[in-house]
Amino acid sequence: MSQAAVHRLLSGVRCLRKTPQMFGTNPLFAAQQRWLTFNVQDEKDFKDRVLENDKPVLVDFTASWCGPCKILGPRLETIVAGYKGRVELAKVDIDEHQDLAIKFGISSVPTVIGMVKGEKKSQFVGVTEDDLIEAFIEKLLPPS
- Active-site residues, by number, are 66, 69
- Residue 85: left (phi > 0), alpha (psi -120 to 50), or beta? left
3-state secondary structure of 123: strand
Contact in structure between 69 and 110 (CB atoms under 8 Å): yes
Nearest residue to 90 (alpha-carbon basis) of 133, 51, 143, 64: 51
Closest CA to 59 of 25, 95, 93: 93
Nearest to 109 by CA among 5, 6, 10, 31: 10
